[in-house]
Structure 1
Amino acid sequence: MKLKWSLVLLFAATPSYLLMAQIEDKKKIVEKGAELTLVQDGFKFTEGPAVSRVGDVYFTDQPNNRIHKWNAINNEVTVFKEDAGRSNGMFFTLDGTLISCADEQNQLWAIDQDGKEEVLVSAFRRKKLNGPNDVWVRPKGGMYFTDPLYPRPYWEGIRSDELEQDGEHVYFLSEDGAELFRVAEDLEKPNGIIGTPDGKYLYVADIGAGKTYKYEIREDGYLINKELFCEMGSDGMTIDNRGNVYLTGDGVTVFNSRGDKIAHIPVPADWTANVTFGALDRKTLFITAMDAVYTLKMKTRGVW
């Protein structure tokens, strides 16, 4: 998440005329005639959308310390988990476990279908993490997560607002949990992260530098052949079946696999935090933005 809560509380409502801003869509990836639809508002700050096998989307309201569930069939939102460890970015494993960046205690969690959590990572080299932010689970198993520093007001009395680690890095945790190591140590502030469905490439947004990079994934989890993907950072990210990459911040901006901008989806909020594809057919773009969540019907579809 990009913004401190002290700043979030100062944001005023977006003028209603911005709702009429037109979608820029060079490659016709949005369903013809589709409009951005408000699902629900009234949250404090929404983040971390993760899609389940049946297409429901779980997302966080981090300041209120809850994980919510959007039912893709009836379009209703319910509370899935209270006391959610201030969960931020999330992602589902193939067996239905919800992986969560729980930055209240600088941890990475695994949450079962009943909402019971297990701590997967609590430290690296005997020191706390800065605050896990976003996570992607690769198809072969194991997961990558970013660990920037965003001081939180709820850390008061728990920890300082200084770096716990020697920088802001990207990590890999092996499927069995036996190995945890850094895979990118030269970024300013890594944030959004997403991989390709074949598990060959990883995109990491360096929101501090205003850039997104593409890496090749080795069998052992290490990253090689770093290359600049586009001159834009991102909070959260997703990818579709055409290889297009969706970045967030000022609405949703879409780049093709070559890094060319092909679409921009305006969102009536001061900050768009994250995005994923929901519904059983994965053709509903689900967007978290400030105090609300939105959907948009797409021609493209998400990938598992």
Structure 2
Amino acid sequence: MKSAFFLSTLLLLGNSLLAQIEDKRGIVAKGAQLEKVKDGFSFTEGPAVNRQGDIFFTDQPNDKIYRWNPNSNQITLFREGAGRSNGLYFQLDGKLIAAADLNNELWEIDPQTGKETVLVPSFRGKKLNGPNDIWVRPKGGLYFTDPLYPRPYWEGIRGKEMEQDGQHVYFLSADRTELFRVAEDLKQPNGIVGTPDGKYLYVADIGDKKTWKYEIQEDGYLTNKTLFCEMGSDGMTIDERGNVYLTGKGVTVFDRNGEQIAHIPVPENWTANVAFGSLTRNTLFITAMGSVYTLKMKFRGVW
């Protein structure tokens, strides 16, 4: 009886410890706990912050974009019929860029009117595989990943084969006149984020379980590909200290040198994406399966 009780106690203790936040550098605000904001979604993705600190995110299977107000902690519907948008990102002019993979396009949405403009309908005469995540660089222009995740709403050959000859990373110039590939040697690029000075770009190759770091050139091309860490990611963000936040099984945080410094467990089967919200940018907003969560951080996110 003693041994059985002791074993069950150890298991309970182990599970409790596994549920705790691992934080080697004190990046989580003192006393902060993970808080569920709302559940009842199908699959949440693509959190993006505007100037006011509001977070826009998608419920991709239900084809909707929602808006979280950090002041009221309330979530409201922003748009229904969102082109099956996945990743989102705000430009400096306030326009929302959306990876709309209903027809494998990249959209620009006016948050005031809700009207969309198709920025990228195709590449070299063929549909994209399915734009997934986006990062807008400070100088203008944007990067997006184009992996293949077959969707049940795609018909015919689109649901079975890649439109393009591989899964790549693309750059769209600020004046929208140039679209070209900047990384063609990855298995399945997904999460993407750059540094606030616009010098470096991180791309998570979720298919190869690696995240790479590149130097960004003035013309948008990437050079000096180096391994950042041995972990892929669905979505990504970065804070003011250069710490990079990867997702999948919870949120795993690496410092700028690629050393793991924290892990935030999330009580869902999958954590899709993260972004910093609120006017002070110190609230980590987490999209995970059918729920969204927040966690107060010591450091601010960048935008």
Please report the TM-score for the alignment, with normalisation by the length of structure 2.
0.93
1:127 and 2:126 correspond: yes
Q: How does 1:74-85 map to 2 (within 5 A)?
A: 74-85=72-83
Q: Which moved more, 1:153-162 or 1:216-225?
A: 153-162
Structure 1 unmatched runs, 5+: 1-16
- Provide the residue aligned with 1:216 in structure 2: 215
- Provide the residue aligned with 1:117 in structure 2: 116
Question: Residues of 2 paired with 1:227 and 1:65: CA distance?
Answer: 36
Which amino acid counterpart does residue 272 of structure 1 have in structure 2?
T
Contact 2:47–2:274 under 8 Å retained in 1: yes
Contact 2:140–2:173 under 8 Å retained in 1: yes
- Provide the residue aligned with 2:143 in structure 1: 144
- Hey, which bits of structure 1, 4+ residues long, moved more than 4 A? 17-20
CA-atom RMSD in angstroms: 1.2
Question: Residues of 1 paired with 2:27 and 2:257: CA distance?
Answer: 16
Question: Residues of 2 paired with 1:19 and 1:157: CA distance?
Answer: 48
Query: Aligned with 2:247: secondary structure?
Result: strand
**1:189 Cα deviation (Å)?**
0.2
Across the two proteins, how many residue pairs are aligned to each other? 288
- Provide the residue aligned with 2:67 in structure 1: 69
- Provide the residue aligned with 1:5 in structure 2: none
- Provide the residue aligned with 2:257 in structure 1: 258
Q: Deviations along 1:130-156, whole A, 9 cap, x unmatched? A: 000000000000000000000001113
Question: Residues of 1 paired with 2:17 and 2:181: CA distance?
Answer: 42
Contact 1:133–1:147 under 8 Å retained in 2: yes
- Provide the residue aligned with 2:233 in structure 1: 234
Question: Residues of 2 paired with 1:159 and 1:189: CA distance?
Answer: 17
Question: Residues of 2 paired with 1:19 and 1:288: CA distance?
Answer: 23
1:32 and 2:26 correspond: no
**1:115 Cα deviation (Å)?**
1.2
Question: Residues of 2 paired with 1:232 and 1:20: CA distance?
Answer: 19
Which amino acid counterpart does residue 268 of structure 2 have in structure 1?
A
Which amino acid counterpart does residue 291 of structure 2 have in structure 1?
A
Contact 2:151–2:159 under 8 Å retained in 1: no
Contact 2:45–2:273 under 8 Å retained in 1: yes
Contact 1:44–1:64 under 8 Å retained in 2: yes
Q: How does 1:190-205 map to 2 (within 5 A)?
A: 190-205=189-204
Question: Residues of 2 paired with 1:267 and 1:255: CA distance?
Answer: 17
Query: Aligned with 2:153: secondary structure?
Result: helix
Larger Rg: 2
Which amino acid counterpart does residue 136 of structure 1 have in structure 2?
W
Question: Residues of 1 paired with 2:160 and 2:66: CA distance?
Answer: 28
- Provide the residue aligned with 2:8 in structure 1: none
- Provide the residue aligned with 2:39 in structure 1: 41
1:89 and 2:111 correspond: no
Please report the TM-score for the alignment, with normalisation by the length of structure 1.
0.93
- Provide the residue aligned with 1:275 in structure 2: 274
Query: Aligned with 1:159: secondary structure?
Result: helix
